[in-house]
Amino acid sequence: MTTLLFSKQEISRKSFSVLTRALAAALLAVSLMATALFVMAPPAHADVRVADIVTGSGPSTTVVNPVTNKVYVAHLGDPRVSVIDGATNVATSIQLAGRPSGLAVNTVTNKVYASVDGTIVSIDGASNAVSVVYSGPGVHSLAVNESTNQIFALGGGPNSVLIFDGASKTSTTVTVGTYSSEMALNTVTNKAYVTDVDNNVVYVVDGTTKTSVQVPAGLRPYRLAVNPATNKIYVSNENSGDGGRNLTIIDGATNSTSGIALNDMPGDLAVNKKTNKIYISTGPYYLSELDGTTNRVKRFEFGDFLNNPHSLAVNETTNKVYGVLPSRGKLTVLRPGTGALEIIQVGNWPEELAVNEVTNKTYVANQMGGGLSVIDGADAPPAFTAGQPPVVGTVGSAFNYTFRATGSPAPGFSVYAGTLPPGLTLDKQTGVLSGIASKAGTYKVQVAASNGVSPSAFTKWFAITVNPAKNDFTSDGKADTLARDSAGTLWLYPGDTGGHFLPRVQVGSGWNAMTSLVAPGDLSGDAKPDVLARDTAGVLWLYPGNGYGEWYPRVQVGAGWNVMTSVLGPGDFNGDGKHDVLARDSAGTLWLYPGNGASGWLPRVAVGAGWNTMDKIVGPGDFNGDGKHDVIATDAAGTLWLYPGNGASGWLPRVQVGSGWNYMTAVVGPGDFNSNFPPDGTADLLARDTEGVLWHYPGDGKGGWMPRFAVGWGWGVMTAVL
């Protein structure tokens, strides 16, 4: 494994005087041997800044030894190198005889090399012992070939590259150009490439033969990067040549060149040899990706950075590209596979960075901040954190549930197997399952979360039972109303979804023998709404609906119900997917009769006391939009109260939702009576006043009301409305 990280020391030293003045007030008081650790939030869905480590004045060139998990940092203003333990983030200092201007790591020998005022020193990675291995004319911009144990350095004499043999401790200089500034190394061919800006060439320095040749490389070549897997070298040109070419490609085998015209001036480069993609900083708006096979260019547009992202580095393990924005104090993280960009606040004037691909940590040197920012970029497979969605919905009612999953990058969601109820959709990005179910039935589904990191996560199989609309007696998806007149005739008033009725239809006679009529929804389990009726003897009868406004033969489902002073159908009150019944006895106790989904009951449960103070009790469905069925009641003073159900046979605190309702002689919860108008899927009320006017009170889905409007007159002749 080879670590190649080269400094931009000339640029850094030009700005050093400015940086020094800015740092003086803030950092001179900091002990150079002291270490401060600022612990931040743990990583979750993306790259996260997890720590800031104070290292002292002007941290610059930063390199990583991934084998020992140590980070080495040179300082512009100090004769020392900081060593950070990647496991603990604890820093120590190694004093040098002068200021270091370049660093390189040999992970095989566990040596770190630093160019220090004309010398090359070796730092033992185990003991931190320092020894001078070369002394002569000044050198900088070090690179190590671990295969040959050679160190390449710009300098070592006029217009030269120094090649130092780490085993024999001997050195050789090779002539290059007058204006050589950047160097990159191909460790496979043991050749270094050096740009000569003013002479428009790149020098190829052979580390085996100790010779060099010139290769024409376009106008003003200045940045370069090597793909050792393909033996190609990519060079940024400050000026465009023929055809607008401003990126030169050198074939390392033949030294032949070709050019590509980029839309913007190229800057720093980084190579992912695994994917054969080259990343280029191309102005303050874009990062560009060059396909090394096809030479096709893709641009990622991120808006105005104010300055070009530079010090580009690739994590080939996670396929991420990192860059710094010094004037913004930001780190950019590009995921080329998705085009997603993260911008992370780091320290003051970040200038250099290094990536540890083993730990997936990125270290950013903040030159005016006096320390390193540590970024945790470990990708994680998705894992669901939210439980299963509600098991029940209702035709015409709003359904909403959010699947939640951790992972880095943030996972997307999909229906892996099965079928969602018609009318419900799953948002792939947010995991929100929502909509208004349009067809009753039971639907089995399995949802997946994936983010490109194996393995994907899957929910268990779950079933969503969609009950028919509470009062949809005609199976057209619209809420209907039943009413009995004084002659005992039962009338069906089909709803039209617009808050009005279609022509009424007679659906029964002789119903004046019944002392209570209730529309409870589907009690028989056939996905068709039914009717409950109590006769004068207290016998409770179930009239199963056939879905066409008519009834199957009635079935006795109870006796002794004449002790009940109010009977209502709240829907699925206990959250088991089956419709239930609530009944108040003469003592004011409110009883829940859980439906068993087959025209019968589970054991009843008391769910309240003191309810004999209520004049009218209604089951509207889910009135406050939380997915659980509620109850509305008026007291003797005419105050209207909402009793929100908790979905488990109990209550949340009651809320007043109206006053003056003692003017109403009947209150009914038909479901969503005006489903064609927003908000769709909300529970409404119908109320008849003392003058026989029937009013529609549209619910707003949040426990409140939209403006009411009249939907009928002459309803005073009706002795029951349901």
605 and 658 inside one domain = yes
385 and 409 inside one domain = yes
Q: What CATH number is attached to the domain comprising 486?
A: 2.110.10
404 and 519 inside one domain = no
Q: What CATH number is attached to the domain comprising 299?
A: 2.40.10
497 and 642 inside one domain = yes
For strands 462-467 and 392-394, give the pairing.
parallel
Lookup result for tokens 């892996």: 416
Determine, yes or no, domain membership for 136.
no
Q: Is the pLDDT of residue 518 over 50?
A: yes
Q: Is the pLDDT of residue 677 over 70?
A: no
510 and 657 inside one domain = yes
Last-in-domain residue among 442, 467, 492 = 467
Q: What CATH number is attached to the domain comprising 433?
A: 2.60.40.10
The DSSP secondary structure of 51-63, one letter per residue, reads EEEE--S-EEEEE
Name the residue with higher pLDDT: 172 or 476: 172
Determine, yes or no, domain membership for 162.
no
Q: Is the pLDDT of residue 20 over 70?
A: no
Rg (CA), the chain: 38
Does residue 484 sit in helix, strand or coil?
Answer: strand
Determine, yes or no, domain membership for 122.
no
692 and 543 inside one domain = yes
Average pLDDT, the chain: 89
276 and 397 inside one domain = no
587 and 690 inside one domain = yes
Residue-wise pLDDT for 118-149, tens only, equals 899 999 999 999 999 999 888 989 999 999 99
User: For residue 15, which amino acid is it?
Assistant: S
Determine, yes or no, domain membership for 221.
yes
Residue 282 to residue 185: CA distance in whole angstroms: 23
Q: What percent of the chain has pLDDT over 70?
A: 92
609 and 681 inside one domain = yes
Name which of 41-45, 80-84, 91-95, 108-112 the model is least confident about. 41-45
Name which of 11-25, 337-351, 538-552, 640-654 the model is least confident about. 11-25
Name which of 95-99, 407-411, 470-474 the model is least confident about. 407-411
Residue 346 to residue 368: CA distance in whole angstroms: 11
450 and 485 inside one domain = no
Q: Is the pLDDT of residue 19 over 60?
A: no
Does residue 104 sit in helix, strand or coil?
Answer: strand
Determine, yes or no, domain membership for 507.
yes
441 and 513 inside one domain = no
Looking at residue 304, its pLDDT comes to 56
Across-strand partners of 24?
Answer: none
387 and 298 inside one domain = no
φ, ψ for residue 341, nearest 5 deg: -125, 135
Rounded mean pLDDT, 277-281 = 96
* All residues at 6 or more sequence positions from 678 whose CB lies less than 8 Å from its CB, including other chains: none
Q: Which of 58, 681, 47 is nearest to 365 (CA)?
A: 58
Which domain does 412 fall in, by range? 381-467
Does residue 10 sit in helix, strand or coil?
Answer: helix
pLDDT-derived band at 154 (thresholds 50, 70, 90) equals very high
Residue-wise pLDDT for 169-228, tens only, equals 999 999 998 888 899 999 999 999 999 999 999 999 999 999 999 999 999 999 999 999
Across-strand partners of 235?
Answer: 224, 248
Give this prediction's pTM: 0.61
Residue 542 to residue 559: CA distance in whole angstroms: 12
Residue 202 to residue 214: CA distance in whole angstroms: 6
DSSP 8-state class, residue 563: G
Q: Is the pLDDT of residue 5 over 50?
A: no
Last-in-domain residue among 308, 342, 364 = 308
Q: Is the pLDDT of residue 34 over 50?
A: no
* All residues at 6 or more sequence positions from 254 whose CB lies less than 8 Å from its CB, including other chains: none
Determine, yes or no, domain membership for 694.
yes
Residue-wise pLDDT for 483-492, tens only, equals 999 999 999 9
Determine, yes or no, domain membership for 270.
yes
Residue 445 to residue 167: CA distance in whole angstroms: 65
Looking at residue 215, its pLDDT comes to 97
Q: Where are the beta strands (DSSP E) in 469-576?
A: 481-485, 490-493, 505-508, 514-521, 530-535, 540-543, 555-558, 564-571
Residue 407 to residue 411: CA distance in whole angstroms: 6
Count of structural domains, the chain: 3
Rounded mean pLDDT, 30-53 = 52
pLDDT-derived band at 283 (thresholds 50, 70, 90) equals confident
Residue 187 to residue 104: CA distance in whole angstroms: 14
Looking at residue 564, its pLDDT comes to 97
